[in-house]
């Protein structure tokens, strides 16, 4: 039998990255492309000229891609989830009575 040479996968447990986009931002970009395609179809069926449809979709798509890349570089893989979780933590807890501080007997 001949010996086989296998490549070792050094990317085990690494997040997915595609052209600088990390993790969930790839899904956001894909979802945005699908929404823009549906929007183009709706505008085209509604009777708008195709050049106007292409212009609107082109500008919106460019803005969407730039925004996704900006978020990907700003927050990284888990940063956006951490930022959203941090917003939900209250700055102060107010209580009108001291009843909650009494010890149970």
Q: Is the dihedral of CA 37, 33, 83, 13 positive or negative?
A: positive
C-beta of residue 55 within 8 angstroms of C-beta of residue 49: no
Residue 32 tokens read as: 């945005």
Q: How far apart are CA 81 and CA 87, in angstroms?
A: 10
Above 60 in pLDDT, residue 105?
Answer: no
Q: What is the pLDDT of residue 57?
A: 94
Q: Looking at residues 76-84, what average pLDDT do you find?
A: 79
Q: What is the pLDDT of residue 103?
A: 62
Q: What is the pLDDT of residue 85?
A: 84
Residue 44 tokens read as: 């085209």
Residue 96 tokens read as: 């009108």
Phi, psi (deg, nearest 5) at residue 17: -135, 135
Q: Which residues pair with 18 in a beta bridge?
A: 21
């Amino acid at each position: 039998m001949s010996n086989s040479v296998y490549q070792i996968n050094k990317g085990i447990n690494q997040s997915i990255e595609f052209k600088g986009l990390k993790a969930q931002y790839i899904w956001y970009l894909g979802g945005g492309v699908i929404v823009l395609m549906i929007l183009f179809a709706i505008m085209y069926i509604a009777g708008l000229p195709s050049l106007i449809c292409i212009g609107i979709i082109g500008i919106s798509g460019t803005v969407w891609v730039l925004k996704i890349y900006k978020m990907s570089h700003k927050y990284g893989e888990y940063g956006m989830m951490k930022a959203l979780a941090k917003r939900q933590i209250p700055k102060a807890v107010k209580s009108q009575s001291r009843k909650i501080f009494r010890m149970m007997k």
